[in-house]
Structure 1
Amino acid sequence: MEKLSMVTSLLCAITVAVLAVAVVGGEAAVVEHTFVVHEMNATHLCNTTKIYVVNGQFPGPTVDVTEGDTVVVHVINKLPFGLTIHWHGVRQMRSCWADGAGFVTECPIPPGNEHTYRFNVTGQVGTLWWHAHVTCLRATINGAFIVRPRDGKYPFPTPAKDVPIIIGEWWELDLIELDRRMMDGNFDDNPLSATINGKLGDLSNCSRMVEESFILDVKHGESYLLRVINTALFSEYYFRVAGHTFTVVGADGNYLTPFKTDMVTVAPGEAIDVIMVADAPPAHYHMIALANQPPEPDPQIPVFTSRGLVRYAGATANNNGLPVPMPIMPNQHNTMPSYYFHANLTGLAHPERHRVPMHVDERLFVTLGLGSICRGQNTTCKRRRSPETIVVATMNNVSFAHPKTTALLERYYDGTSKGVYTEDFPIRPPRPFNYTNRDLIPPGPLEEALEPTFKATKLKRFKYNTSVEIIFQSTTLMQSDSNPMHLHGYDVFLLAQGLGNFNAKRDVRKFNYHNPQLRNTVQVPRGGWAAIRFVTDNPGMWYLHCHFEFHIIMGMATAFIVEDGPTPETSLPPPPPEFKRCGNNGLSQP
C-alpha cells in the first residue's frame, strides 16, 4: 500500500475545515472538506483485507452543514483507478455538474488527480449521505451528510445528542473483483458480516477473538436523534434496541409525521431519522441490525447481523451481573414488517414543498426484474440461468448499458450524443404478464419465455416543469427482491405502495395527496408496487437506479434528461471552472 505523505497525513487528521465566511445575518457559511481516498489494510475475522477509505476512516468523515450553506469538497484520488463521489439526496439545484454520478454527470477522477465539488444545500433538513459512485466502492467509501435547520429549531423536542447509525457490510472479497463478477451476471458472492458504524459486533468471532461492537453511551431521561443510514450493497435491514422504542421523525432530508415504532426498517440508500428516549432502567441493552431477504426459491444468502450496545451512565461494567437484554427480531425471511413500516410513514406538511401536482403530464409504468442475454456474439442461447447466458437486471425489459469512456451530461450539454445514447426509454413494458407470479422464480420453466432482453443506453427526456407520475412494479421474474429506487436531483412524492400487481381502477383510490412522504429513495416492496409524482424543475441529466448494487451494475437503471426552462434561473449553467471534462485526462478504470 502506498504510504501517505506528511501533507496528506495532515489532511487525513484534519477532516473538516469550516470557513466561517458568513453572509449578512450570519445565516450561511462555506463548509470545506478535503477527502483523501486511499487504500489501507484492515483485519477482521482472522484475515487482513485491503479496503478503500477516505481519510483513513470507515465509515468516512461526516459532512455537517446548516441549511443554506455552500459545501466545497476537495477529493484527492490516491487509488489505482478512478472514482467519483455522489452526494446522495442533495437536490443539486442547477448544480448537476457536482452530482458525482460516474459516467452520468462526470468521468471518474483519474488516479493521482484531484477534483473539487461545490454546491449549495437549500430547502432540505435532516439526514443524507455521501458515497463513491463507481463500481462497488461505496461499500467502504461512504459517510453521513447532516443538514441542520437554519434557525436551530426542530418540529420535535431538541435531542441531547444526534448520532449517525451507519449500517453496512464487511466484504473480504476485493470490491473491484466483486464488481467484475457482478458484471458477468454472478450475484452469488456475499459479505461476511453486517456492520454498525464500521463495527462487526461481538456476534462475529474467529479463533475466540470477538469483534468490536459499536457502543452508544446514554444518560437516563435524555433523548437521542439516531440517523439510521443503510450503505449496504445487498440487503435491507431491520434495526432494533432492546427495551426501547423509537419515534420516526424524518427520512431522506425531509420531516415526517411522528410515528412510534419499536423497529426501524431501512433499505439501501435510505436514511431514517428516529428519536430514542433513554427511559429504561440504567443498564446495558443490545442493538441489532439484521438483514432480511426473500424466502426460497429465491437465491439464499447467509444471515447477516451486527450487534451493538446501548450503555447507560452509571451502569456497572458487568451490567450488575445480569444478562444484557437482546431485542426480538423478525424472521430474516419475513419481509412484511418492511412493507408495514414504510406504509405507515407520512410527510410533515411543509407549505413550500408539499404541493402534490394534481395533474399529470406524463405517465410511466416501469417493471423491475431480471433477464438474460446470450454470451459473446451469439443470438440464440439456452436460458434459465444456463452457462450460455449472462443474468442482467432490467427496467421495462431494457438492461442499461453504462458508458465506459464518456459522461452522458457532457454529451447532452455539447449536443454530441449521437452514438452514445438514445432517448427512447420505454414508458411501459413491451408485453404485460402476471408480474408477481411466484412461478416465474427459477427453477421455472415459466420465466424462460420472458427473460430474453438486451443491453442499451436508453434515456427519457422531459420538458422543464413537466408533472411526471411513475408506477414502479416489482416483478418476480427470476427473483422476487424489493427494489429501492433512487432518483438523483429530486425528491419525489411517494403517493402509495401496495402488494401484488398495480391496478389503476382499484389502487389510485389509495393515493395520498394530503401529506405523502417526500423521498429520494423509494422502497418498492417485494412483490408489489409504488406510485410517485414529481415536477421536473431541476434541469440536467439525472440518474435513476435501484440501490441494490448488483441490480445497478447488472443494468436496473436509466437517466432522465430535464430540459432548460425559459429563463437563465431555470436553466443548467455551464460547467463550473473546477469541472474536469472527459477525454485525455488519464482516465483509468478497473
Structure 2
Amino acid sequence: MAKFSMAASNLCVAIVALAAVAAAAVGEAAAVEHTFVVSEMKMTHLCNETLVTVVNGQLPGPAIEVTEGDSVAVHVVNKSPHNITIHWHGLKQRLNCWADGVPMVTQCPIRPGHNFTYRLNVTGQEGTLWWHAHVSCLRASLHGAFIIRPRHAYPFPKPDKEIPIVIGEWWSMNLAQLAKNMEDGYYDDSSSATTINGKLGDLYNCSGVVEDGLVLDVEPGKTYLLRLLNAALYSEYYVKIAGHEFTVVSADANYVRPFTTDVVAIGPGETLDALVVANAIPGRYYMVAVGGQAPKPDIQIPETRSRATVRYAIGAGNGDEAAPPVAPEMPDQHDFMVSFNFHGNLSSLNRPGSPPVPATADESLFVVLRMGSICRRGRLSCKRSGSKESIIVETMNNVSFQLPAVAAATPLLEELYYDHRRNGTVGGSGLDQLYTLPDRPARPFNYTDRALIPWGPNEAWLEPTEKAALARRFRHGAVVDIVFQNAAMMDTDNHPMHLHGHDMFVLAQGHDNYDTVRDVARYNLVDPPLKNTVLVPRLGWAAVRFLADNPGVWYMHCHYELHVSIGMAAVFIIEDGPTLESALPPPPVDFPKCDQQ
C-alpha cells in the first residue's frame, strides 16, 4: 500500500475545510477530512515519564465535529509500533461495516508504517459519539469526541457554548503490558489517576506540586451544553458540579425527554449531553467525577476521582478569589442506586422521524453475564477459585469469546462477504469455527445469590467454562429481544454492553433475577430510550430490543476493558437483505491486508 503524503494531506484538508465552510453557509452537506497520525510520545505526570500512544500528539485526541448528513474521511497514518484500528463508537455505519474498526472481525489491523482511510457516513444521527482504538487497552490514550450537530435546530434552546468533557484515566504503566497482564490472568492493575479532558486535576500532586486541572470559564446567565463521554477502561463515573444542575437532553446520540438532576451517571462507552445554566452566585465551583465500584466482598481498587473548576468570569462579582472552590457532596462510590435511578429516568424524545418501537420480537435471547474459569495449558481439570492452575474469564451464557484460529489471516467480515458470493460453498474458514450463542444458559442457577461473590468454595462448581468464537446469526429485518442478566459470580460489576452498528431500545431494567411473567408487563413500548451502550445493573438485568437491519459482522461486548479482554463478547452476523440497497457492498479497494510487512 502506498504511503500517505502528509504534505498532500495538509493541502487537501485546507481545501476541504474551505469547501465545508461554503457548504455550511447554504445548508448543504460537506465533505470533512481529518488526518490522524498515530505515534508514541513521552508525557510526564505524577513525577513519572511515560511513553504513550496518541493521535496527533494529543490526549484526548482531536474531536471530529460535523453536521448531520456530512461525509467524513479520516486518514489514519500509523507511525506507532502497534497494530491499530479505530472504532467509531455509536456510528451506525449503515451498509458500511467495513469501516467499523474491529481487528480481525471487520478488518486486518493497520500495521506499523502503513495507513488506511476510514470513510464514514453520519446521515440520520445527531449528538455526541466518540472514536477510540479497538486494540486492547490502547483506547485509554487513543480516543476523542465525535460530535454531530443537527442540520436545522436542536429540540431544545440553543446553548451559548458547547464543551466536550472527556472522562478518562492516566496509566503510569505501559498499556501494552497492561493488556498482556490481562491475557496472562493478572487483573489487579489499576490506573494511576482519573482525568478530565486529559488533565489530572488538583487532587494529584508530584512532590508537592499539584497537577493541572481543567478550568471552564462561564458567564452569569449563559447556558452551556456539556458533551460528556466516558473513555475510561474500568469505571462508571458519577459527575456533579457544586451549586449547579444538569438538564439531560441526549444519551448515546439519541434525544431524550429532558430531565433535571444534580448528578449524572455515565458508564464506560456511554455519552451524555446535558445543559448547565451558569446561575449560581459568581465564584468558583468544582466539577467532580468519582468512579463507582461494587462493595465488598467484591475485590476493591483504590478510589478513582478527579475534579475540574467551573470559574465565573472575572468582573462578575466573584467575591474572594482566594477562597477555595465550592465542592459538591458526592455519592458514595458503592451506591449503585445512583446509576440505577439515573438510567431509569431516560426516555426517548419522540419526534417526527423517530424510529418506532417494534411491537413484537422474532427472536428472544436470555444472556447471563458472569465470570468463569478455564484450566491453563489446555488441561481438562484443575483447581479453581483463584488458583494459579486456572485463568478467570468473562462469559456470555458460559462461553468466553476468542477469535477462530484461522481468522489470523482473514477477517470474519471478508469471509462472510465472499462466502455469500460463492453461495456458501466455502470451507476451512473462520465461519466454520463459529459457536452459536445459545438462547439461554445450559446451567441455570440463582444468578444473584450473594454467596457466589467470594472466590470459593460456593461458586467453584459453576466456574468451568469454555472458550469459543461465539456468534449469532440473524436474518435481515429480524426483531431481536435480549435480556441481559447480571450474575453474582466472583464479582458484581455492572456491565455496559455495547452493540456495534445498531441502537437498542432499552425496554426495562430491574433488580435481582429476571422473571418473564412479571417483568414483560413492565416493558416500555411507548418511549424507551435508544442506546448503543446499555448498562446492565449490578445484581440485576436489562431488557433490550433491536432491529437487525444493517448487514455485516457486528461486535457485541462489555465496555469494561478487562471484561472484553477476557471474553465477554460475541459477534452478531446480520444477513443481507433482499435488494441491492439492503446488501453489504464490496470492501474498499485500499482495504488493509493482513500480510503487510
TM-score (ref. length: structure 2): 0.94
CA-to-aligned-CA distance 1:175-213 (integer Å, 9 cap, x gap): 100001111222110001100000000000121010000
Partner of 2:403: 402
1:467 counterpart SS class: strand
Partner of 1:336: 337
Q: CA deviation at 1:419?
A: 4.8
How has the CA–CA distance of structure 1 residues 577 and 41 changed in structure 2, closer, same or farther, with 3 Å as cutoff?
Answer: same
2:564 counterpart SS class: helix
- Matched to 1:490, the amino acid is H
Partner of 1:180: 180
Partner of 1:387: 388
Partner of 1:546: 558
Aligned pairs (5 A) from 1:152-301 = 153-301=153-301
**1 CA distance for matches of 2:16 and 2:85?**
19
How has the CA–CA distance of structure 1 residues 25 and 279 changed in structure 2, closer, same or farther, with 3 Å as cutoff?
Answer: closer
2:524 counterpart SS class: coil
CA-to-aligned-CA distance 1:283-333 (integer Å, 9 cap, x gap): 110110100100111111001111100010125888434332101001111
4+ residue runs of structure 1 moved beyond 6 angstroms?
Answer: 8-11, 13-16
**2 CA distance for matches of 1:356 and 1:378?**
47
Q: CA deviation at 1:25?
A: 5.9
**1 CA distance for matches of 2:309 and 2:451?**
42
- Matched to 1:273, the amino acid is D
CA-to-aligned-CA distance 1:225-269 (integer Å, 9 cap, x gap): 001100000000001100000100001111000010000100000
Q: Answer yes or no: is 1:312 the counterpart of 2:323.
A: no
CA-to-aligned-CA distance 1:79-137 (integer Å, 9 cap, x gap): 11211000000000000001111221101100000000002101111000000001111
1:217 counterpart SS class: strand
How has the CA–CA distance of structure 1 residues 217 and 14 changed in structure 2, closer, same or farther, with 3 Å as cutoff?
Answer: farther
- Matched to 1:413, the amino acid is Y
How has the CA–CA distance of structure 1 residues 6 and 85 changed in structure 2, closer, same or farther, with 3 Å as cutoff?
Answer: closer
Partner of 2:358: 357
Q: CA deviation at 1:490?
A: 0.2
How has the CA–CA distance of structure 1 residues 255 and 323 changed in structure 2, closer, same or farther, with 3 Å as cutoff?
Answer: same
Q: CA deviation at 1:425?
A: 1.6
**2 CA distance for matches of 1:42 and 1:127?**
28
Partner of 1:427: 439
How has the CA–CA distance of structure 1 residues 399 and 15 changed in structure 2, closer, same or farther, with 3 Å as cutoff?
Answer: farther
Native 8 Å contact 2:374 2:393 kept in 1: yes
Unaligned runs of 5+ in 2: 420-425
1:143 counterpart SS class: strand
Q: Answer yes or no: is 1:573 the counterpart of 2:574.
A: no
Q: CA deviation at 1:422?
A: 1.6
Partner of 1:557: 569
Unaligned runs of 5+ in 1: none
CA-to-aligned-CA distance 1:423-464 (integer Å, 9 cap, x gap): 512121111111111111123312101111011102100100
2:178 counterpart SS class: helix
How has the CA–CA distance of structure 1 residues 14 and 397 changed in structure 2, closer, same or farther, with 3 Å as cutoff?
Answer: farther
Percent identical pairs in the alignment equals 55
**1 CA distance for matches of 2:320 and 2:42?**
34
- Matched to 1:464, the amino acid is H
1:435 counterpart SS class: coil
CA-to-aligned-CA distance 1:36-78 (integer Å, 9 cap, x gap): 0000000000100010100010000000011111010000001
Q: CA deviation at 1:499?
A: 0.8
Partner of 1:117: 118
Partner of 1:91: 92
How has the CA–CA distance of structure 1 residues 537 and 417 changed in structure 2, closer, same or farther, with 3 Å as cutoff?
Answer: farther
**2 CA distance for matches of 1:18 and 1:342?**
41
Partner of 1:482: 494
**1 CA distance for matches of 2:263 and 2:47?**
32
**2 CA distance for matches of 1:363 and 1:301?**
36
Q: Answer yes or no: is 1:468 the counterpart of 2:469.
A: no
How has the CA–CA distance of structure 1 residues 14 and 61 changed in structure 2, closer, same or farther, with 3 Å as cutoff?
Answer: farther
**1 CA distance for matches of 2:15 and 2:88?**
17
How has the CA–CA distance of structure 1 residues 428 and 351 changed in structure 2, closer, same or farther, with 3 Å as cutoff?
Answer: farther
Native 8 Å contact 1:15 1:35 kept in 2: no
**2 CA distance for matches of 1:7 and 1:316?**
49
Pick the aligned partner of 1:525 from 523, 534, 537: 537
Native 8 Å contact 2:41 2:52 kept in 1: yes
Q: CA deviation at 1:583?
A: 3.3
How has the CA–CA distance of structure 1 residues 53 and 8 changed in structure 2, closer, same or farther, with 3 Å as cutoff?
Answer: farther
Native 8 Å contact 2:16 2:31 kept in 1: no
CA-to-aligned-CA distance 1:19-48 (integer Å, 9 cap, x gap): 428499642011100000000000000100
Q: Answer yes or no: is 1:445 the counterpart of 2:481.
A: no
- Matched to 2:199, the amino acid is K
CA-to-aligned-CA distance 1:349-396 (integer Å, 9 cap, x gap): 034333111121100100101110000031110010100001111000
- Matched to 2:595, the amino acid is N
Native 8 Å contact 1:396 1:426 kept in 2: yes
Native 8 Å contact 1:423 1:461 kept in 2: no
Partner of 1:496: 508
**1 CA distance for matches of 2:213 and 2:392?**
37
Partner of 1:67: 68
**2 CA distance for matches of 1:23 and 1:52?**
34
Native 8 Å contact 1:215 1:309 kept in 2: yes
Native 8 Å contact 1:205 1:211 kept in 2: yes
How has the CA–CA distance of structure 1 residues 301 and 69 changed in structure 2, closer, same or farther, with 3 Å as cutoff?
Answer: same
Instruction: Give the aligned CA root-mean-square deviation in angstroms.
Output: 2.2
Aligned pairs (5 A) from 1:23-172 = 26-151=27-152, 153-172=153-172
Native 8 Å contact 1:8 1:36 kept in 2: no
Native 8 Å contact 1:18 1:31 kept in 2: no
How has the CA–CA distance of structure 1 residues 97 and 328 changed in structure 2, closer, same or farther, with 3 Å as cutoff?
Answer: same
How has the CA–CA distance of structure 1 residues 199 and 25 changed in structure 2, closer, same or farther, with 3 Å as cutoff?
Answer: closer
Q: Answer yes or no: is 1:507 the counterpart of 2:507.
A: no
Native 8 Å contact 1:84 1:102 kept in 2: yes
How has the CA–CA distance of structure 1 residues 80 and 16 changed in structure 2, closer, same or farther, with 3 Å as cutoff?
Answer: farther
Native 8 Å contact 2:27 2:151 kept in 1: no
Pick the aligned partner of 1:585 from 580, 593, 596: 596
**2 CA distance for matches of 1:19 and 1:371?**
54
2:556 counterpart SS class: strand
How has the CA–CA distance of structure 1 residues 9 and 116 changed in structure 2, closer, same or farther, with 3 Å as cutoff?
Answer: closer
1:458 counterpart SS class: strand
Q: CA deviation at 1:402?
A: 2.9
Q: Answer yes or no: is 1:322 the counterpart of 2:323.
A: yes
Native 8 Å contact 2:282 2:318 kept in 1: no
**1 CA distance for matches of 2:15 and 2:571?**
33
**1 CA distance for matches of 2:519 and 2:19?**
51
Q: CA deviation at 1:418?
A: 3.7
Q: CA deviation at 1:577?
A: 2.1
**2 CA distance for matches of 1:391 and 1:171?**
23
